[in-house]
Amino acid sequence: MARAIILVMDSFGIGHAPDADKFGDVPANTFAHLAQYYYQQKQQKIALPHLASMGLVDACLSAGKESFPIAEYRLDKGAYGYAAEISSGKDTPSGHWEMAGVPVLFDWGYFDQTTPSFPSKLLDTIYQKTGIDGILGNCHASGTDIIAKLGEEHVKTGLPICYTSADSVFQVAAHEEHFGLEKLYQYCETVRELLDDYNIGRVIARPFVGETSADFIRTGNRRDYSVLPPSPTVLDKLTEAGGTVISVGKISDIFAHQGISEKTKATGIDALVDATIGHLKSAGDNSLIFTNLVNFDQDFGHRRDAIGYAEALQAFDQRLPEIFAAMNEDDVLFLTADHGCDPTWHGSDHTREYVPMLAYHHHISSVDLGERTTFADLGQTIAEMFNLPSLEYGTSFYQKLMLNNE
């Protein structure tokens, strides 16, 4: 039986979604705008020959209705479309759960107040349960900015840096050596237990190293503590049917380790791609390899680094032939995203956008999947591919992408 590979290009939106006005995100377009900015600054067109050949550019032009400079390409080897999100938020868990067939149709809790962000009652309980009587931060902040601002004080005082954003999240930054990695994880586990009544989606441990604000840098030992999806996902259905789900990157954390058979952590896009290829060389039939390429989001989208984003995209594009070469004859590769994060947009939060829905196998030519009304179409397609029971949400496009399979 075939294997499936899902590569999530974290934050790679391709045009503002139909309901983007509710989020103040009209006319965000992560791909088009970074391509425009790259051309303005570098005087050269972004070159994505492999992604473009799969239909990425055409999907973006259809979704965003906005032209942008792009190097010449040949559209000849992929199924391509664009998908809107029906989940209530534009956060990471909602996007991933929906693509696995379970949209989030309830409202998350948020810490809306910019500063101080956390209720005093919650903080008092955290102090009591953790034994650490205080925090730094207590505000909405960019993760890299707040580490530079408060990292040295954190090292001196031993107090964790706690902050949030427009997402349903409680983030904790701490130095791996001075505070301790296991101590950070334990702190986050305790906080996770205290946030259920607030309906907060994730607690994120954000470890960093370095000695001064000039050289503090976050490490790959991030850990997300998520609540469980509200119902079984296609991952659960595959593992229950005897299949294997392999998590690469933060996928396991996003699904609270439910429906996951194996997990591999890696730091950086190249390392995540290497890990994916490694699993392609060893995974058996009836396997799903599910990879999140978080660096597009955390290193470039949130930091509003359009040039870095464009360069990372081009570097990733050059790795795709290695992935194709590692695929078996009947494997299917899917590329998508969980939300947008337009690096030319105001602020530093996610943007409500369509995401690409691309697919490839060795015998595919070019198939237009058109507009997909929910990310859950991917989960339904995976379910049909593995002969699993149908999911409640989504419409499969499996037959359409296999029409010209020889």
pLDDT per residue as tens, the chain (406 positions) = 699 999 999 999 999 999 999 999 999 999 999 999 999 999 999 999 999 999 999 999 999 999 999 999 999 999 999 999 999 999 999 999 999 999 999 999 999 999 999 999 999 999 999 999 999 999 999 888 999 999 999 999 999 999 999 889 999 999 999 999 999 999 999 999 999 999 999 999 999 999 999 999 999 899 999 999 999 999 999 999 999 999 999 999 999 999 999 999 999 999 999 999 999 999 999 999 999 999 999 999 999 999 999 999 999 999 999 999 999 999 999 999 999 999 999 988 999 999 999 999 999 999 999 999 999 999 999 999 999 999 999 999 999 999 865 4
Q: Name which of 289, 224, 219, 288 is nearest 257 in CA terms.
A: 224
Q: Name which of 219, 54, 79, 89 is nearest 166 in CA terms.
A: 89
8-state DSSP, 240: H
Task: Enumerate the H helices of 55-158 as residue ranges.
Answer: 56-64, 92-99, 120-130, 143-157
106: left (phi over 0), alpha (psi -120 to 50) or beta: beta
Indicate the Cα dihedral angle 183, 186, 190, 196, nearest 10°.
Answer: 130
Distance, in Å, from the CA atom of 235 to the CA atom of 97, rounded to the nearest integer, reads 10
Query: According to CATH, where is 3.30.70.1250 located in the chain?
Result: 120-226
pLDDT at 406: 47
Contacts of residue 321, Cβ cutoff 8 Å, sequence gap at least 6? 50
Distance, in Å, from the CA atom of 286 to the CA atom of 344, rounded to the nearest integer, reads 41
Task: Enumerate the H helices of 158-296 as residue ranges.
Answer: 181-194, 234-240, 251-254, 269-282, 295
Sign of the Cα torsion 62, 64, 65, 71 reads: negative
Distance, in Å, from the CA atom of 87 to the CA atom of 334, rounded to the nearest integer, reads 21
Cβ atoms of residues 310 and 34 within 8 Å? yes
Distance, in Å, from the CA atom of 115 to the CA atom of 140, rounded to the nearest integer, reads 7
Specify the CATH class of 120-226 in words: alpha beta
Query: According to CATH, where is 3.40.720.10 located in the chain?
Result: 4-106+230-401
What residue type is assigned to position 179 of the chain?
Answer: F
Residue 5, Cβ density class (10 Å: 0-12 exposed, 13-18 middle, ≥19 buried): buried
Cβ atoms of residues 193 and 128 within 8 Å? no
pLDDT at 101: 98
Beta bridge partners of 223: 205
Two structure tokens written together for 19: 């309901």
What kind of architecture, by CATH, is found in domain 4-106+230-401? 3-Layer(aba) Sandwich (3.40)
23: left (phi over 0), alpha (psi -120 to 50) or beta: alpha
Q: How many residues does the chain have?
A: 406
Strands 169-175 and 136-140 come out as: unpaired
* Cα angle: 382, vertex 383, 385; to 5 degrees: 60
Strands 366-372 and 78-83 come out as: parallel
